Structure 1
Amino acid sequence: MAESEDGQEKSELPTEQRLRQAREKGQIARSKELGTAAVLLSGALGLILVGGSLSEAMSKVFKSSFTVERAALFDPESMMPALGSAILGVSWPLMGLFLIVLVAALVGNSLLGGVNFSSQAMMPKLNKMSPIKGLKRMFGVQSMVELLKSVAKVVFIAALSISILMGQIENILSLSGETLHAAMVEATELVMYMGLLLCMALLPIVAIDVPFQIWNHTRQLKMTLQEIKDEYKNTEGKPEVKGRIRRMQQEMANRRMMADVPEADVVVVNPTHFSVALRYDQSAPGAAPKVVAKGMDEVALKIREIAREYEIPVISSPPLTRAIYFSTKIGGEIPDGLFVAVAQVLAYVFQLNNWRKGKGNRPTPLKEDLPIPDELKV
């Protein structure tokens, strides 16, 4: 198992962030064998597709090249038109073949790892110029694996090539006794057949190399437990810093909430722990009372303090206060089940305000047992 520089075992799979950073540096799983196989197989298949037209074009080029009039042999200016005609004759089949190979090269090299552009990978690295590190890379595990893989590939392909060639030796020798056109057609078919067999021989190599490259890439990016912890801290932030940020955010939210308390119509309280400030917009038909502020303990005391400062009625109703506190959010409307209870509180408050302005009689004290549904009682 690989170890880090501090001796810790790299036993954990790389995280998404580690994989993303490696990709940005150009470190992705790649299989050269996959790209090579894709190019060669596409070339063989492309040759099968355009082989007929290519052999026909080459046959015409040979005929025109060897059936030259005597006057043309002594005319230097006739060489360039003849060359241009020969090139033009085989260009279209070859362009089709080249296009197929080009597409296969792009697709084959991006099947494993995808398309990736990394500016960091193009930057010069001085550590790669170190002779000592170069020797380590030359005699490292990766280099030895690549060497053994190359030797095995050469031996395997050479043995298969000799086997295919020996199996077709009679057909190859028989080409000399055929006409030019027949020889060209049969030679093209032989090349296509042997080329396709040789290219298909790369498939077992690819089947071994692709899983190995994926495994090796994952192994190189494995992390220690300490690296994962450090990454989490750097990503999510240290606990003490996160706690401080949360406190600051809470303080800012409380300040914004306190600024809305003067707009409340009433503050209902549980005298020891909770305070809830309510506002009812009578100009909006069908609107329900909203919670503009709520809090516990010190925040509850601060809400009551602001309410007294702005002469907002403070009503003590512990069951209603707890029900509103635990069933609503700041800025949200009260639940349907509390409409009747809150309506009685608001009616009392509006009558109280009118009495203070000398516009009515003193209201009857609010009942202590306000109607609160059992499911909202806390």
Structure 2
Amino acid sequence: MAEDQDKSDKTEDPTQRRLDQALEHGDVVKSQEVSTWFVIGGGTLALAMFGGSSSTALTAVMKGLIAKSGAIHTDGHVLVRLTEVITVEVLAAIGLPFLLIAVAALAGNALQHRLVWTTETLTPKLSKISPMAGFKRLFSAQALANFVKGLLKLGLVGTVLVMLLWPERNLLEALVSTDPTAILPVSMSLMLKLLGAVVAIMAVIAGADYLFQYQQWYQRQKMSLKEIKDEYKETEGDPKIKAKIRQLRIGRMRKRMMAAVPGATVVITNPTHYAVALKYERGMNAPVCLAKGTDRIALKIREVATEAGVPIVENPPLARALHATVEIDREVPPEHYKAVAEVVGYVMRLKKAWR
């Protein structure tokens, strides 16, 4: 019941991270019908390309062996040498066809998914030997699909083979009294025709089965809302923790700003909503912003500046413009040079007059 509830909760499409994890764990889309189709196709191609040459080579080996059977010594190293020669000749005759079939078998798996190196699928699990789990797999949707697929393959392949062989029934009867040397070409032609039909049928079945296997695999990867939230916390961090860290950073930045205000040359205000503290000394390219803020932070900047004796100049347009364009510890933008220079010059004249 709990497992069914968990499956019903998984209504969200899987994330890319979930799909990557499934691949790492060896849970991939795999259709056995696609692999079978590649093997049958490879075998058909090998038979068409190398069937004649391989049969000729094997026939020559067998003829020579039978013709010289009376003169062959079977004692000592002669028998060992004879076995080695026959083995080499047989492998040379069937090596390329078997190599082509092996490559086709590997391609049938490699084209369905990228290569995966994992031992997780080999790890013993109780669910694999559990009678209850085995009973569920026996009557699962996958088992039903395999049963229907088997009946479909048997019916289609059997029907096509009968349709192809029935017109050739007279030829097959005549082969009984035909010269044995003439049987091989006829058998080869008929075999290639049958295998071609099987490959065509299996291509349709393999394509449909791959789509079914992909849908089943994708359904297994679906996630619940809780799993998506947990994954987001793992990858991006807990939003509460991130908000707390952001608050701490803002707090440290404000403390650093307030500590720099006493060293400012002037504080430009609006008069209560905005405050920007600037510092300028001879030799500097342009004034530097030491602190800025609005509302409560602006009020705090004014209080610290008043206690430190830093001049406060009310200039609403300039205060708003500087707050929007200049960052802390950065120089004033060139478009504000003239206005800021007038304020700084005014403050310096006041200090000179006061002295």
TM-score (norm 2): 0.80
Compared CA separation, residues 253 and 77, structure 1 to 2 (3 A): same
Deviation at 1:165, TM superposition (A): 4.8
Which residue of structure 1 aligns with residue 123 of structure 2?
A: 123
Q: Structure 2 CA distance, aligned partners of 1:5 and 1:32?
A: 30
Following the alignment from structure 2 to structure 1, what is the Cα–Cα distance between the partners of residues 166 and 281?
Answer: 98
Which runs of structure 2 are paired with 1:299-338 in the superposition (5 Å)? 299-307=297-305, 312-338=310-336
Match of residue 344, structure 2, among 327, 343, 346: 346
Aligned-CA RMSD value: 3.7
Write the letter of the residue equivalent to 2:338: V
2:33 corresponds to? 33
From the superposition, tell whether residues 8 and 132 of structure 1 become closer, same or farther in structure 2 (CA, over 3 Å). closer
**Residue identity opposite 1:160 in structure 2:** V
Distance 2:263 2:164 in 1: 93
Deviation at 1:245, TM superposition (A): 3.1
Q: For residues 50 and 290 of structure 2, what CA distance do their matches in structure 1 show?
A: 78
**Which is worse superposed, 68-77 or 316-325?**
68-77
Displacement, 1:158?
3.6
Of 78-87 and 196-205, deviating more is 78-87
Q: Structure 2 matches for 1:138-153, cutoff 5 A?
A: 138-153=138-153
Partner of 1:63: 63
Higher helix content, 1 or 2? 2
Partner of residue 213, structure 2:
213
- Report deviation, 1:203: 0.9
Partner of 1:5: 5
Pair 1:189–1:352, CA change in 2 (3 A) = farther
8 Å CA contact 2:58, 2:93 repeated in 1? no
SS in structure 2 at match of 1:5? helix
The 8 Å contact of residues 55 and 185 in structure 1, kept in 2 or not, is answered as no
Distance 1:209 1:326 in 2: 61
Structure 2 CA distance for partners of 1:134 and 1:315, relative to 1, 3 Å:
same
Secondary structure of 2:72's aligned partner: helix
CA drift at 1:298: 3.4
Q: CA deviation at 1:262?
A: 5.8
Residue number in structure 2 paired with 1:108 = 108
Q: Give, in whole Å, the separation in 2 of the partners of 1:348 and 1:46.
A: 95
Q: More deviation in 49-58 or 28-37? A: 49-58
| Counterparts of 2:7 and 2:140, CA distance in 1 | 19
Tell me, which stretches of 5 or more residues in structure 1 are unaligned? 356-360, 364-378
Shift of 1:65: 2.1
Q: How does 1:135-214 map to 2 (within 5 A)?
A: 135-166=135-166, 170=171, 174=175, 177=178, 187-214=187-214
Structure 2, unaligned stretches of length 5 or more?
none
Q: Distance in 2 between matches of 1:60 and 1:281?
A: 103
Aligned partner of residue 277 in structure 1, secondary structure: strand
For residues 293 and 96 of structure 1, the distance between their equivalents in structure 2, rounded to whole angstroms, comes to 79
Identity rate, percent: 35
Residue 114 of structure 1 aligns to a residue whose secondary structure is coil
Further displaced range: 222-231 or 41-50: 222-231
Closer, same or farther: CA 304–104 of 1 in aligned 2, 3 Å: farther
* Contact preservation (8 Å) 1:176, 1:183: no
